[in-house]
Amino acid sequence: MESTKQFTSLLDNSTLGRVERMRLLPMRRLTNRSRGEHLAGKGGTSTEFNDYRDYAAGDDMRYIDWNIFSRLNRPYVKLYRHEEEMHVVILIDASASMRFGEKFEKAKQLAACFAVMGLMNLEKVSIFACQHAGQTPQILPPCTGRMSMKRIFSFLENLPPGGDFPIDEAVEAVLKQHRGRGVCVVLSDFLTFGAMERPMNQLFSAGLEIFGIQLLCALELNPELSGDLRFVDSETGMTLDVSSVGDLIGFYHDHLGGLQDHLATLCRQRNGRFLCMDAGLPLDTMLTDVLKRKGWVQ
Amino acid sequence: MMGTGLNLPGFSAMVNAWWFLLLAPLIIFYFLKLRRPRLEIPSLALWRQVISDQRVNSPFQKFKRNLLLLFQILLLCSLIISAMQPYLSTGAEQARYLPVLIDNSASMAALDGPNGKSRLDLAKEKVSKLIEDLLPDQRICLISISSTARKLTDFTDNKRLLNEAVSRLEVSQVPSRLEDGLRMAQAMSLQQPIDTVVLISDGNVPSEIEFELPYKLNFQKLDFAAANVGIVDFNARRSRTGWDVFARVEGTKQPDGDKGPPTAKTLCEYELLQNGQSIKQDTFSVEGGNAERLVFKVVTAVATSLELRIKPDAFDSLSSDNVAFLEIPAPRPLAVYCPMGMDTYRNALSAMPDINLYPGTDSEPKGVDLKFAEGPLSTGPEARVLFNVGFVPDDLSNLVELVSGQTEVVDWRRTAPLLQHVQLLDVQIADDPKLAKGVGERDFELAGYEILAQSRSGPLILERSNDGRLEYQFLFHTDRSSLVYRVGFPILVQNAIQIAAQRANLLDSKANPTGALPPQRISPDTGIHLTGPHGFAETAKSDKDGTITGLGAPYVGLYEITGGPEPLKIGASLMSSGETGLVAVEKLHFPEVSVTASSTVLKTDQPLWGWFALAGLFFLLIEWWYFQKRPSGVPA
């Protein structure tokens, strides 16, 4: 049987087909003023009926429901929902720490999935990849429409890992470049020496709902280490001598759990979401068994 | 030596504690040169938090994390403590020089049961324990004691040497006598400070010991052996028709307080052999603690050798006393030499039977049994018993002077064999031996003489045993005394005849005890070779008189002397009631003190350096394993 040519190396065609039918489910409707696919809370001019109200002098006569007027002999104005555009910002941590395991690969695949969902929902999608501290993140400018899919895939496919950009600083750097409300998907391991409160606040203040996805490899989730080791930080090159590592694994798990709880709390307090995933999981499992079940996408 | 309190460890080489200073560089170099595999991880963020966790930084966790350092410290400490020579004090006073007297007399061969251990084996175990627990600055000297003492080693801490000496030690089948060993230890105390002497014995020793103890005696008594039956006496007396042979067999008696093995009536088989041929076999029974007397009649006109063997039907702990040897001489007249001038003596001798008197009709032999002489330059044959009358021998000339004068006997030893039934009271003597100025009885003793009778001014009759020859010295001439007119004179001559006959074994004969063979007479200046049981061999040379003395006989059995005119066979038997009875004394009585036996384990300080060295090796192995163990999870 002749094999079908893959549209992108990030996703196979079947997965891409399923992703195209998925939609992001933000908890709040943080939209831009410009018209889009997302219904705004206020009334608008879309085709989707919202409510009736009494006619008031000055209302557009075209919106009076004549059928009701004929039955009740009183004018009522039909109200329609207002649809606004939502900005999907995807922030990929492309620092050296993401090289371990399948973290970076999965981050790019998830970014592609979220971007496809955004594009297929006629959202503006922009991607930021943060590598080296102090440098401007690599940016894929906001793009919309199915036609931009190839551009997004190309950007992600050519994205190399490496660098020492901590995620807390990366968020700040991204927000300097970005304007617009919507959803910010942060794909990172969130292993940083800095505090995450400030970047979370900034995201929240910028009108972005936080979709925090922590991707960790097996070495981080369940390190099977023992003996005396000298740990070398992949980003900074700093070393740390640790003796009897095997005896400290329990404490490590405690701190990892604490970090995840802390990040989840930060996101939740800012109307966001947080999820930790094993980068070793298959992408389909991530999409269907994790994101869909948890109501991140539909 | 440093000592600490009771049951507290002490250190013999405290100066080595300076090595503990090595701990400082060890710790420094540990942290400077710690070899850790590098492992690149995504981020140190979490591990930093883990390391700074309060729980991780508890002292125990810190030690746990630095296990390698802990092992290195333990290894170094173990080695240093080992070098400090620790010992566990038992509270016993420490002796730097410790003589150990090991009883190896005949009774030490007694077993505690069939295929059991001998007393000597138990003694060796105790000595081995002492050697094993020897502290570095302690020296041990091993001395074996039987009838004499023998130094096995000098004071040494060489355990190999000491153990070799212990393993070489064998039972000497002779009765025990402690004095020599105690004196040897006393002599050693002149060279080294000796506070305590250890005596390891089965307790089968004389309880009364004539020795002033200059040190503490630690008497380690061994456990009791099993019951024993043995021959304690074997002798013969001449009868009209031949020889009456007597043997005495004893069984062990259970000591007081139900200690030791119970004794019961034992049935024994015996066999009497004459010149190797069995002449009688029978059985008898002997009760524990009692003796059984066996009597045999042996008719022989020539010299003969008797051997008596007993075989108890029950277990017998000591085998060396189950055989005894007896040499019976050929019957012959007593050869007496009495010069023609000594008429009084010749008259007295002429009336006595079984005597060949010389000079006479027969040719004069080379040696006689008894010789009378009245001058220092007497001629005549050699004799076993000398009876000198009327002169002062040369070796006493500076002690006593014979002058003319009247004297009488003021005191004499009535129990001496020569003077038995001889009344010397009121005997008038025309010669007066006078002591030189400043000379006392002690000077005669030093010269080897024993005074048998004395006047107011000096000794009259002396006795000396010299090279197996018995000499009686009358410093006055009996012809110039009223003794010859009294009934005591023929009795005196008869006593001399009896003594000579006994010395020639013509009246009776006793089994030769082990230890030393009786003096033998062969040709003068002749080298002989003595062989005996258990491969015993010795060479000796006769003196100018043809006498050989001091031939050793440490084992029970037949000894053969070759190299003389004709080979001689002499048997040696244990013949010790004490050794056969296995009587164990609980207390040794010395003139001023008594020493109670202790059957408990000898208290010695336990050296601990070996344990620490072993611990060091253990820590070294653990550390090496831990050091070589590659941390898991790190790619090769």
What is the side-by-side strand order in the sheet with B38-41? A239-242, A229-233, B38-41
Q: Distance between CA B563 and CA B565 in Å, rounded?
A: 7
Residue A40 clears pLDDT 60, i.e. is over it: no
Confidence category of residue B219, pLDDT binned at 50, 70, 90: confident
Question: B16 pLDDT band (50/70/90 cuts)?
Answer: confident
Provide CB contacts within 8 A for B606, sequence distance 6+: B87, B88, B90, B133
Q: Which chain B residue is nearest to residue A243, measuring alpha carbons?
A: B65
The whole-number pLDDT of residue A2 equals 46
Give chain B positions within 8 Å (CB) of A231: 38-41, 44, 47
| pLDDT for residue A31 is more than 70 | no
pLDDT at B585: 82
Write down the H helix ranges in B155-208. 159-168, 179-188
Q: For residue A198, what is the enclosing H or E element?
A: helix A197-205
Chain B residues lying within 8 Å of A219, measured CB to CB: 41-42
Q: Please, is B216 exposed, middle or buried when counting C-beta atoms within 10 Å of its C-beta (0-12, 13-18, 19+)?
A: middle
Residue in chain A closest to B53 (alpha carbons) equals A251
Segment B521-536 shows an average pLDDT of: 87
Q: What is the pLDDT of residue B213?
A: 86
Is residue B2's pLDDT more than 50? no
Closest Cα of chain B to A39: distance in Å? 42
Determine the residue among A103, A231, A247, A263 to mutate to test chain B binding: the one whose Cβ has the most chain B Cβ atoms within 10 Å.
A231
* Residue pointed to by tokens 């009535």: B414
Out of B225-239, B262-276, B357-371, B600-614, which region has the weakest mean confidence (pLDDT)? B600-614
Residue B551 tokens read as 């031939």
Q: Is the pLDDT of residue B631 over 70?
A: no
Q: What is the pLDDT of residue B38?
A: 86
Range name among A201-205, B350-354, B507-511, B598-602 with the lowest pLDDT average: B598-602
pLDDT at position B308 over 90: yes
B633/A223 CB distance under 8 A: yes
Residues B34, A226: C-beta atoms closer than 8 Å? no
The Cα of A21 is separated from the nearest Cα of chain B by a number of Å equal to 35
pLDDT computed for residue B565 by the predictor: 79
**B5 pLDDT exceeds 50?**
no
Residue that the structure tokens 């850790």 belong to = B36
Query: Does A33 or A85 have the greater pLDDT score?
Result: A85
CA distance B43 to chain A (A): 5
Neighbours of B557 (CB within 10 A): 18
Choose among B37, B43, B64: nearest Cβ to A229. Answer: B37
Predicted confidence (pLDDT) per residue in B504-525, tens digit: 878 888 898 898 888 887 888 8
Residue from the list A232, A246, A248 with its beta carbon closest to the beta carbon of B40: A232
Minimum Cα–Cα distance from B31: chain A residue: A241
pLDDT at residue A93, rounded to an integer: 92
Cβ-defined contact of A240 to B48 (cutoff 8 Å): yes
**A223 in Cβ contact with A101 (< 8 Å):** no
Q: Is the pLDDT of residue B629 over 60?
A: yes
Measure B32 CA to nearest chain A CA, in Å. 12
Nearest-Cα residue of chain B relative to residue A228: B36
Measured between CA atoms, the residue of chain A closest to residue B39 is A231
Buried b / exposed e over B307-336, threshold 16 CB at 10 Å, is bbebebeeebbbebbbbbbbbbbeeeebbb
Q: In this predicted model, which residue has the larger pLDDT, A43 or B239?
A: B239
The answer to whether B65 contacts A225, with C-beta atoms less than 8 Å apart, is: no
Closest partner CB to B632 (pick from A103, A224, A251) = A224
- The Cα B30–Cα B49 span in angstroms is 24
Least-confidence region, from A41-45, A230-234, B78-82, B463-467:
A41-45
Calculate mean pLDDT across residues B391-395: 89
Q: What average pLDDT does this structure show over B443-451?
A: 91
CB atoms within 10 A of CB B462: 25
Residue A86 CA to residue A88 CA, distance in Å, equals: 6
Instruction: Record the tokens describing residue B6, joined without a space.
Output: 């009771």
Residue A274's pLDDT band (boundaries 50, 70, 90)? very high
Residues in B closer than 8 angstroms to A97, CB to CB, are 42-43
- Specify the length of chain A in residues: 298
Q: CA-CA distance, B573 to B579, in Å (whole number)?
A: 12
Residue of B nearest to A224 (CA): B633
Supply the ipTM of this predicted assembly: 0.82
In the predicted model, what is the mean pLDDT of residues B345-365? 87
Mean pLDDT of B406-414: 91
Sole residue written with tokens 């039977």: B353
User: Closest Cα to residue B383, out of B343, B455, B335, B415?
Assistant: B335
**What residues in A contact B43, CB-CB < 8 Å?**
97, 189, 191-192, 233-235
Whether the predicted pLDDT of B594 surpasses 80: yes
Task: Give yes or no for a contact between B566 and B93, defined as CB atoms under 8 angstroms apart.
Answer: no
Smallest Cβ–Cβ distance between A229 and the set B36, B48, B61 belongs to B36
| Cα of A227 to nearest chain B Cα, Å | 4
Task: Tell me: pLDDT of B236 over 80.
Answer: yes
Q: What sections of B275-342 are H helices per DSSP?
A: none
pTM: 0.53
Nearest to B631 among A100, A193, A228 (CB): A228
Q: Tell me the per-residue pLDDT of A59-109, one tens digit each, with 9 for 90 and over.
A: 888 889 999 999 999 999 988 775 667 889 999 999 999 989 899 999 999
The conformational region for residue A190 under phi > 0 = left, psi -120 to 50 = alpha, else beta, is left
Of the ranges B23-37, B57-71, B397-411, the best mean pLDDT one: B397-411
Indicate which of B35, B36, B43, B634 best probes the interface with A, i.e. most A CBs within 10 Å of its own CB. B43
Q: Is the pLDDT of residue B366 over 70?
A: yes
The pLDDT score that the predictor gives to residue B1 is: 39
What pLDDT score was predicted for residue B354? 84
Cα–Cα–Cα angle for B282, B283, B284, nearest 5°?
Answer: 135
| A45 pLDDT more than 70 | no
Q: Reduce the secondary structure of A125-150 to three states and give it as a string.
A: EEEEEECCCCCCCEEEEEECCHHHHH
**pLDDT tens for residues A160-206?**
888 888 888 989 888 888 888 889 999 999 988 888 999 999 999 98
Task: Report the percentage of chain B scoring pLDDT > 70.
Answer: 91
- Residue of B34, B46, B630 lying closest to A255 (CB–CB): B46
Find which of A168, A215, A229, A239 to mutate to test the B interface (most B CBs within 10 Å of its CB): A229
Would the pLDDT of B574 be above 80? yes
The CA distance from A108 to the nearest CA of chain B, in Å, is 18
- CA dihedral for A157, A162, A166, A172, sign (positive or negative): negative
What is the C-alpha separation between B410 and B425, in angstroms, rounded? 7
- Nearest Cβ partner of A240 from B34, B51, B65? B51
- Which residue in chain A has the smallest CA separation from B55? A251
Task: State yes or no: pLDDT of B134 exceeds 80.
Answer: no
pLDDT tens, position by position, A107-145: 999 999 999 999 988 888 999 999 888 888 899 999 988
Centre a 10 Å sphere on the Cβ of residue B352 and count the other Cβ atoms it contains: 14
Closest chain B residue by Cα to residue A244:
B65
For residue A100, the chain B residues in CB contact (below 8 A) are 41-42
Least confident of B179-193, B433-447, B480-494, B597-611: B597-611
pLDDT in tens, A229-262: 889 999 888 888 887 788 888 889 999 999 999 9
Q: What is the mean pLDDT of chain B?
A: 85
Q: Among A168, A248, A260, A261, which would you mutate to test the B interface (most chain B Cβ atoms within 10 Å of its Cβ)? A: A248
- pLDDT mean over B347-363: 87
Q: Among all residues of chain B, which has the CA nearest to that of A241?
A: B36
Element of type H or E holding A213 = strand A208-216
* pLDDT > 50? residue A216: yes
Q: What is the pLDDT of residue B593?
A: 83
A197-205 and A245-269 helices, crossing angle to 10°? 20
Q: Measured between alpha carbons, how far is B108 from B300 in angstroms, rounded to an integer?
A: 38
* CA-based nearest distance B64→chain A, Å: 7
Considering only CB atoms, A230 lies closest to which of B36, B43, B45, namely: B36
For residue A244, the chain B residues in CB contact (below 8 A) are 64-65, 67
Smallest CA–CA separation between A141 and chain B, in Å? 29
Q: How far apart are CA B283 and CA B305, in angstroms?
A: 22
Tell me, what's the pLDDT at B410?
92
Nearest to A232 among B38, B50, B61 (CB): B38
| pLDDT at residue number A163 | 87
Q: Are B393 and B475 in contact (CB under 8 A)?
A: no
Count of CB pairs separated by less than 8 Å, A with B:
120
